[in-house]
Amino acid sequence: MVASETRRFSKVLIANRGEIAVRIIRGLRELGIRAATIFSDADRRSLPVLLSDEAYPIGPAPSLESYLRAEAIVELALEIGADAIHPGYGFLAERAEFARQVEKAGLELIGPPSTAIAAMGSKLESRRLMIEAGVPVVPGGEGALADLDEATALAESIGYPLMLKASAGGGGKGMRLLREPGELAAAFRATRSEAAASFGDDSVYIEKYIERPRHVEIQVLADQHGTVVSLGERECSLQRRHQKVVEEAPSSVVSPELRARMGEAAVRAAQAVGYTNAGTVEFLLDPSGEFYFLEMNTRLQVEHPVTEMVTGIDLVRWQIAVAQGEPLAPELRSIEPRGHAFEVRLYAEDPFRGFVPSPGKIERLRLPEGPGVRNDCGVYEGDEVSIHYDPMLGKLIVWGRDRREALLRLRRALEEIRIEGIRTTVPLYRALVDDPDFVAGSLDIEMLDRKLGSGELEPAHVSQLADLPLIAAALEHGLRQARASATPAPAGGRRGHWREAGRHEALRGRR
């Protein structure tokens, strides 16, 4: 690899929206770099636009006609004289073709090289590279099985329990769990014929079944001079339908020794694809402490703040520094987590009605403040949550000296926060901070779906006093009627308590 010279960016174009655009604007501003953003027709009034130095329209509301217009975005960057493009996460962030276009235009992508994105973007290719690099992967799963004999032999070498999967399946379909050898023959025949009927492809493969795994990922940072460091793990086991909702660092089950081993594996994974910039290597961790490579996210992660809170490292700042050709500071080689951090993702969704989206106007927004609390939020009070994009409004992050303190702080912050006018996932998190398994830190990737399905997690009451919402509404109605009748004082109108009360309240309200 040819080490590029260090240069200074004077302007960066952010090819994203929402909270991550805000996060990147903050990082650029602190380095004295001009922040340019793009916006769709739906986002002209959005927070990133209000905070940016320059903002340019990129098309109509649908993502395909705006934030995903790779060519137009690269052209815009050239036109406005930007030195680099920050893709954030989602949208174009993991599209190798976009990275190639940026490289071809002579611009810097604040992210990895297109070749690394392409290598990690292919499931088969990345698996092969990881095996070569000595990164543990889930045993099995390397291609279609010819017949039952081959399946039996492979099953014996991997060991039970196993998952038998249809190659064309996905999303939980075409899968069978096998606990012992006796189940293989019948399951093999059934999965094959089902796969043929459902997917028109009868190829099946087997993979080791990992019981109650955790999702633990390692943050890596790599410069253009060959240095790759691990910044420790994030525990992301709390997911709903494979989407993360709560993250923490460090993981309560990762010892310093395991952290070192996972860190080394992650660094090897990054090196295997010639990685630069910030990236995340995701692993499944089983209860015995064995871990297996899942995939590498070749971008900044939504949950990067928990790592920032426990390491004191500004990841966006380092992303920019690395893209400018700067070497990683020597102290980054020996980072140990300090304290504990949680992040909860604030989605405009109703968690107790199957997470249906809840777009609309944010009538009220009060974000929690005080010691150890950080808000990475992409919206403001009065803002409209659009139907066109991901429903994440922002993230609430807390830090404490240990997990217990961080948890108490999270509970406190969730009592303070108010997001009104739309439904959000806040009531779910309020229930979660009192859940014994969450408090104990005993998590697995199916826990949240399980607890929501069984009704174990239920919405808290609107008020601690169950009668109060009813009383409050009745008083509101009574006073409203009284005010209405008090305003145009009718000749000889009735004078009653309520009319007086209405006036009294109107005055108090104005005070």
Partner 1 sequence: MKLIVRRAGERPGDGTWVELRRAGDEFEVRIGERVYHLDRVETNGSIRSFLIDGDQHELSIRPEGEHSYVVSGSGGMEVVEVLDPLTHLAEQSRADAGSAAAHRVTAYMPGRVVAVLVQEGDQVIAGQGVVVLEAMKMENEIQAESSGIVERILVEAGQPVEGGDALFEIG
Which positions are catalytic? 299
Q: Which residue from 231, 403, 246 is spatially nearest to 308, judged by alpha carbons?
A: 231
* Shortest distance (Å) from residue 501 CB to partner 1: 5
User: Exactly one of 110, 300, 373, 426 binds partner 1 (CB under 8 A); which one?
Assistant: 426
Specify the length of the chain in residues: 511
CB of 260 or CB of 470, closer to partner 1: 470
Residue 119 has phi, psi (to 5 degrees) of: -65, -40
| Packing angle, helices 304-311 and 315-323, rounded to 10 | 100
Interacting span for partner 1 (CB under 8 A) from 3-11, 17-25, 221-229, 419-427: 419-427
Query: What is residue 96's three-state secondary structure?
Result: helix
Between the alpha carbon of residue 47 and those of residues 51, 88, 343, 377, 417, the distances in Å are: 6, 16, 21, 9, 19
CB of 53 or CB of 458, closer to partner 1: 458
* Shortest distance (Å) from residue 411 CB to partner 1: 11
User: Exactly one of 132, 415, 434, 449 binds partner 1 (CB under 8 A); which one?
Assistant: 415
Distance CA 280, CA 291 (A): 15
* Shortest distance (Å) from residue 413 CB to partner 1: 11
Query: What is residue 477's three-state secondary structure?
Result: helix
Cis status, amide bond into 250, omega within 30 of 0: yes
Binding of residue 502 to partner 1 (CB under 8 A): no
User: Exactly one of 31, 326, 498, 503 binds partner 1 (CB under 8 A); which one?
Assistant: 498
Which residues, numbered 12-71, are part of the site for partner 1 (CB under 8 A)?
none
Residue 392 has phi, psi (to 5 degrees) of: -80, 125
CB of 253 or CB of 501, closer to partner 1: 501
Helix (H) or strand (E) holding 246: strand 243-249
Cβ proximity of 318 and 276 under 8 Å: no
The 3-state secondary structure of 144-209 reads CCCCHHHHHHHHHHHCCCEEEEEEEEECCEEEEEECCHHHHHHHHHHHHHHHHHHHCCCCEEEEEC
* Shortest distance (Å) from residue 67 CB to partner 1: 13
∠ CA 288-294-295, nearest 5°, is 150
Task: Tell me, by CB under 8 A, how many residues bind partner 1.
Answer: 49
User: Exactly one of 11, 388, 483, 503 binds partner 1 (CB under 8 A); which one?
Assistant: 388
Fill in the DSSP letter of residue 122: -
CB of 84 or CB of 432, closer to partner 1: 432
Interacting span for partner 1 (CB under 8 A) from 193-201, 304-312, 442-450, 458-466: 458-466
Binding characters for partner 1, 461-480, by CB under 8 A (x = yes): xxxxx-xxxxxxxxxxxx-x
CB of 350 or CB of 376, closer to partner 1: 350
* Shortest distance (Å) from residue 154 CB to partner 1: 38
Binding of residue 440 to partner 1 (CB under 8 A): no
How far is the first Cα of the chain from the last one, in angstroms, to the nearest whole number? 68
Helix (H) or strand (E) holding 308: helix 304-311
Interacting span for partner 1 (CB under 8 A) from 96-104, 144-152, 368-376, 457-465: 457-465
Measured torsion, CA atoms of residues 51, 53, 54, 58, in degrees rounded to the nearest 10:
-30
CB of 107 or CB of 392, closer to partner 1: 392
Helix (H) or strand (E) holding 418: strand 418-420
Q: For tokens 């050898």, name the residue.
A: 181
CB of 78 or CB of 474, closer to partner 1: 474
Cβ proximity of 399 and 409 under 8 Å: yes
Interacting span for partner 1 (CB under 8 A) from 114-122, 149-157, 321-329, 424-432: 424-432
Which residues, numbered 349-378, are part of the site for partner 1 (CB under 8 A)?
356-360, 363-364
* Shortest distance (Å) from residue 364 CB to partner 1: 6
CB of 170 or CB of 459, closer to partner 1: 459
User: Exactly one of 54, 286, 290, 505 binds partner 1 (CB under 8 A); which one?
Assistant: 505
Residues making contact with partner 1 (CB under 8 A): 348, 356-360, 363-364, 387-391, 414-415, 418, 420-421, 423, 426-427, 430, 459-465, 467-478, 480, 497-498, 500-501, 505, 508-509
